[in-house]
Structure 1
Amino acid sequence: MSLKKNPSGLGLLFDEQAQAGRSTLFHLSRPFDIAPEVGTELSVPALAGLVEEMSAALYEAGARAGDRVAIAKDNHWDYLILACAASRFGALPVLVAGSLPPATLGTVLKRAEAQVLVTTEGILARAAEAGVDLKSLAPRTVTVGSAASGTVALEELRGAAKPRVHKSASYEPMVATHTSGTTGVPKLVVHSVDTVLGHLGRTESLRFPIVAMKRSDIVATATPYNHMRMITWSTGTLKLEPKDAMVLADADPATAERMFAKRRPTYLEGLPAAYIGWQDLAERRSELFADVRLFVSTFDAVHPPTVRRFLNASRRRFPSWLQGWGQSETGPMTFRLLTRKAMEAKGDRHPTTRDVGRPIPGFTSMKVVDPATMKPVPNGTPGVLFTRTDGRCIGYLGEPQRWREKAKGKWWNTGDWGVRSASGNFRLLDREVDVIPGMSCIELEDVLADRLPELIEAAVIGIPGKEPLPVLSTKDGTLDEAAWRRATADLPPLGTPMVIPLEEMPRTSTGKVRRVELRERLLGEETFGTGRWT
């Protein structure tokens, strides 16, 4: 098998990197759900062998080239193993978070129109309790772990004959994953070899100064492994070949403490929600983060106090925080490096992490347009953000018209509301559907987090005719009225804050606050924005 500049597809991702002699050792926080016997330390050749074995199992289950294989299980990196396994014989893997609410999960799987569904007995049972029969959404259901009635256990399929490797054209559908779903039911985003491995994966595989992994690095990640980010992270990690890679199947602080006590990471990536959960750990055992030279956050911006806390926990002379802004449909669009100096509290409404930096040179272009005319607006004027990138997805499963509404020539309507500065930086203001005229809700949330140390999470929501409502979660479930008045004295008028437990803040599978759901629950369905491009 000859090596190529880019992998020929997911099916041979690990084979090609094993052939290239990659020496990274992967350390799992717990064994794979699909093969617990392989343990928690795996080489690249071992991972390639597991992909081949799982490919045979899925083929034995009845999936064939051109079919769709939906995977909805508990979070772990074996999502990628199963995705590669299905892709290996020409099927389209559709990766869905098993943690989605049953009704939402049922809707997403119905759109997937899969021939085979891979899930767990527990997910099937939870859905059934809610009146959703997931087994009816695919001709055959395979369960990881214990078999449920009307399904076949994955273990029973192992040891089957290995199917022939199928090579699809680079522009054909290769994988489908779903969006975070902050504005409703997640969309199933379809990517090809060209868009993911040929473009998005390439951005991860170049040895950019500071931000790229080094061979001496000990990298760690805690992320939703059904997401597109998992594929690009894995591609970059395999190609850049760090010494060790730690894969955390969950963001539990106890898991992070156990893993980082064995190997202190030098390159750490996590969801904003993961970093929030690790804050106490960073204070109690700061030595676990002492060697980190680069923190990476994706999916959403992190509040300034959180960034500050982790940068201060590192004992490196110049640690950095890489904040990327992107979407499932496009991959990364802009990035910004945050330093201790950049995050110093200034006493006013800044710094804010909503400045998402500049487009990635040579990879993306950005513009701000008027939502009514779709024409570019001057610097400093808010509008809808558009991006142009070769990493743009090729469609939405089950919703082709929705994709066409957002694809305008070579440009992509992100549905985000923002502004471009004279220097070329972009600042996110809100999602277009969440906009409140004259303010940025997410910027106010940064300010509140900086001024109220007891604050864990905040969401400012609003509808026409009412003052914006701050919905807050605090450490002890209370809010000091005098502290609130001081914190908001120079801010736009806000309604009386509502304090709710953190667990009642509706979130997506990637930890983002579901603002639409929160607004409809507390205020009603009317909005300032159009919501056309959610």
Structure 2
Amino acid sequence: MKSLEPGPFFDILADRGTGTQVHLSRPLDIAHDGRTTYGIENIAELVAQAAGWLAGLGIARGDRVAVIKPNHWDYVLLACAAARIGAVPALISGNLPPETLQLLLKRLDATALVTTSDTLAAARAAGTDLTAFTRRTLTLDAPAPGAAPGAVPLADVRGHRPPPPQRRPDDAPLAIMHTSGTTGTPKLVVHTTTSLVHRLAAAEARRWPMVASRRDDTVAQATSYAHGRGLTWSLSAFWLAPRKVLLLDSFDPQHAEPLLRAHPPTTLEATPSAFVRWQSLATAPDNPFRDVRLYINTFDAIHPPTVRTYLAATRRRLPLWVQVWGQSETGPLTFRCFTRRSVRVSGERHPTTRDLGRPVPGRTRLRVVDPVTYRRVPRGEPGLVMARTRALCAGYAGEQERLLAKSAGGWFATGDLGVATRSGRMLLLDREVDTVPGGSCVEIEDVLHDRLPDVVEAVVLGRASGLPLPVLVTRDGTLAREAWQRAVADLPPLGEPALLRLDQLPLTATGKVRRQELRDRLLDGAPPHGCGHWT
């Protein structure tokens, strides 16, 4: 679908007369007028202006442009601006540690970096000069004296006339996004127009019954916009022209609440971390989710109690929850729908949200194989999940050999362990590197959330020798010994739980726990049980 290509996308919507109103949780970093409400024509103008800034910086067709900044939807707008002039945007979360940003920039070998002076200052305070890894740096704000020597402030390129939108071959790199990095350094995933637009965004930009946006919907999104989902979601969601779109930059409930209350959503997509953080809002008598007919969670399986909370919060008679499982390299691989009835049972050891459902019909295929031989295992037996999809990425920037190491006979190794049921459903066990012998960390975490209502976050760290370590965050920082013993009575043996505060957990940009960092901190770098070959 040519109309979904990012460069001219918002121009096409403006010419079409799309009346969608955009509402933001805070002003964009690329706009200095303090606005939080836009029409489509305003967004189109902003993208064109940003394309002019990049052209004024000397960015040319085929150049890579790294974007590192605080999380917000203008990651997507900068990606559209770069694509408009034929450049390749590389979106990298500003939440990553400075040493990780340095490594990713080295792998990327970008012509330019678009960032903020605060981002540069924070990295420099940690001993990293991000400007050293690109030839030009553009700061979106006015840098403090000495904060970014050699960087070009936005004022210096404002008003530069944007060139007309450029087309590129469908199989040429379109955009680069990074993986979450829960098990190590994130990978830079390269997608083409074919994989990202024609295969992923176009598949969602259709009015599928029940799950597609309607023209009278108020659609809300809360994600890390540096990840691939931010761009593909924006293309498909705006193409369907809902009445309003709410874009939230933070998972902090106090920050998100004013926008959610001012414009109660009818559909809401968010990361599992955002849903967990907002549960206090969902349990309030006048909660802002009372009109939601459709919830969608991406990036990770979600805990059953969270699904129950939100399905109970809406006044809709038959609300639906859609869980999508996939990866940055592949896009969605499976989906599963939940209703109030399907998550009613609590406290038992049953799959619920670990049942990922079936492969996307006509688009993806899955098989479970022996991790050593790659031979298919019988249904009902655990193994490494392999995927086949036409939306597979073109490779990893700076690590092209890595994609070859994760591929076999046209199948891509996801790095997840699972079980294919006789009915064709996929049950998630663990990331291979995080697995525990004869069990599932993900199952244990689900059960702990179900049986211990005060637990905000549960992480089970497996290790090659010794019992798995459960790491818990509770609402008041305490854990009753008797409640713990009851909760784990029928679970595999676990070590004594470690209690942490939420701010002590190392998190990715999507709110997932960086397990390897937590392992290094709490287990003195004890090796995991898995080999980690497919991370």
Fold-level similarity (TM above 0.5): yes
Please state how far the C-alpha of 1:57 moved relative to its aligned partner: 0.6
State the AA in 2 paired with 1:528.
Answer: H
| Structure 2 residue aligned with 1:532 | 533
Distance, in Å, in 2 between the alignment partners of 1:255 and 1:337 is 29
| Equivalent position of 2:122 in the other structure | 126
Secondary structure in 2 matching 1:230: helix
Alignment-derived partner of residue 191 in structure 2 = 191
| Residue 15 of structure 1: how far off its partner (Å) | 1.8
Secondary structure, counterpart of 1:36 in structure 2: coil
Q: Which amino acid aligns with 2:165?
A: V
TM-score of the pair, normalised by structure 2:
0.97
Q: Give 1:32 shift.
A: 1.1
Contact 2:299–2:326 at 8 Å: present in 1 too? yes
| 1:8–1:193 Cα contact (<8 Å) kept | no
Q: How far off is 1:347 after superposition?
A: 4.5
Deviation at residue 289 of structure 1 after TM alignment: 0.7
Tell me, in whole angstroms, the C-alpha distance in 1 between the residues paired with 2:39 and 2:55: 25
Aligned residues with identical type, % of pairs: 50
Match of residue 454 from structure 1: 454
Counterpart for residue 3 of structure 2: 7
Query: Counterpart of 2:345?
Result: 345
Spell out, residue by residue over 1:478-517, the C-alpha distance to the aligned partner (whole angstroms, 9 max, x if none). 1100000111111111111111111111211111111122
Where structure 1 has 5 or more consecutive residues not aligned to the other structure, the ranges are: none
Equivalent pairs, count: 530
1:95 aligns with 2:96: no
Using the TM superposition, give the Cα deviation of residue 19 of structure 1 relative to its aligned residue in structure 2, in angstroms: 2.6
Whether 2:56 is the aligned partner of 1:56: answer no
Aligned residue type for 1:211:
V
Amino acid at match of 1:527: P
Residue 142 of structure 2 corresponds to residue 146 of structure 1:
yes
Provide Cα deviations, 1:140-185, integer angstroms capped at 9, x if missing partner.
Answer: 1110112233211113211012224321101100000100001111
Letter paired with 2:427:
R
CA-to-aligned-CA distance 1:450-494 (integer Å, 9 cap, x gap): 000110101111212201111111111111000001111111111
Which shifted more, 203-212 or 317-326? 203-212
The one-character-per-residue Cα deviations of 1:322-348 (angstroms, maximum 9, x if unpaired) are 110010000110000111111112452
Distance in structure 2 (CA, Å) of the matches to 1:427 and 1:506: 27
CA contact (8 A) 1:8 1:170 kept: no
Matched, 1:212 2:208: no
Give the Å deviation of 1:271: 1.1
Query: What residue number does 2:36 align with?
Result: 40
**Mapping for residues 201-280 of structure 1, pairs under 5 Å:** 201-280=201-280
Secondary structure in 2 aligned to 1:309?
Answer: helix
For 2:479, the equivalent position in structure 1 comes to 479
1:28 aligns with 2:33: no
Partner Cα separation in structure 2 for residue 76 and residue 464 of structure 1: 39
* Residues 248-289 of structure 1 deviation map (CA, whole Å, 9 limit, x = unaligned): 121221232211221110001111111111111111254311
Letter in structure 1 aligned against 2:35: G
Change (3 A) 1:289 1:69: same
CA gap of 1:296–1:286, structure 2 versus 1, over 3 A, is farther
AA paired with 2:59? A
- Displacement, 1:245? 0.5
Counterpart in 2 of 1:110? 106
Q: Judge conservation of contact 1:9–1:174 (CA < 8 Å) in 2.
A: no
TM-score normalised by the chain length of structure 1? 0.97
Q: Matched residues in 2 for 1:358 and 1:141: separation?
A: 45
Amino acid at match of 2:160: A
Q: Is the 8 A contact 2:454 2:475 kept in 1?
A: yes
Kindly tell me: are residues 58 and 285 of structure 1, through their superposed partners in 2, closer, same or farther at Cα, counting changes over 3 Å? farther
> Judging changes above 3 Å, is the alpha-carbon distance between structure 1 residues 197 and 378 closer, same or farther for their aligned structure 2 residues?
same
Find the counterpart in structure 1 of residue 314 from structure 2: 314
Q: Distance in 1 between matches of 2:6 and 2:431?
A: 32
1:416 — aligned with what? Answer: 416
Q: CA deviation at 1:38?
A: 6.9
Q: How many Å separate the matches in 2 of 1:288 and 1:113?
A: 44
The residue type paired with residue 271 of structure 1 is: T
Does the 8 Å contact 2:351/2:427 carry over to 1? no
- The answer as to whether partners of 2:4 and 2:201 remain within 8 angstroms in 1 is no
Mapped partners of 1:371, 1:388: distance in 2: 16
Q: Is residue 493 of structure 2 the alignment partner of residue 503 of structure 1?
A: no
* Alpha-carbon distance, 1:40 to partner: 1.7
Is 1:76 aligned with 2:72? yes
Partners of 1:517 and 1:8 in 2: how far apart?
Answer: 38
1:204-248 Cα shifts (integer Å, max 9, x gaps): 112222111111111101111111001111111121111110111
Following superposition, the deviation at residue 80 of structure 1 comes to 1.1
Aligned letter for 1:458? A
- Is the CA contact (8 Å cut-off) linking 2:95 and 2:508 kept in structure 1? no
Q: Distance in 2 between matches of 1:351 and 1:177?
A: 31
5 Å matches for 1:301-450?
301-350=301-350, 352-450=352-450
Q: For 1:288-307, what aligned pairs fall within 5 Å after superposition?
A: 288-307=288-307
Change (3 A) 1:31 1:346: closer
- Given that 1:268 and 1:295 are in contact with CA atoms closer than 8 Å, whether structure 2 keeps it comes out as yes
Partner of 2:401: helix, strand, or coil? helix
CA distance in 1, matches of 2:286, 2:532: 43
Q: Which residue identity lines up with residue 138 of structure 1 in the other structure?
A: T
Question: 1-side partners of 2:410 and 2:206: how far apart?
Answer: 24
Kept in 2: contact 1:379–1:420 (CA 8 A):
yes
Q: Deviations over 1:433-462 (max 9, x none)?
A: 111110010111000000001101011112
Contact 1:7 1:197 (C-alpha < 8 Å) held by counterparts: no
Q: Distance in 2 between matches of 1:379 and 1:351?
A: 16
Moved more, 159-168 or 451-460: 159-168
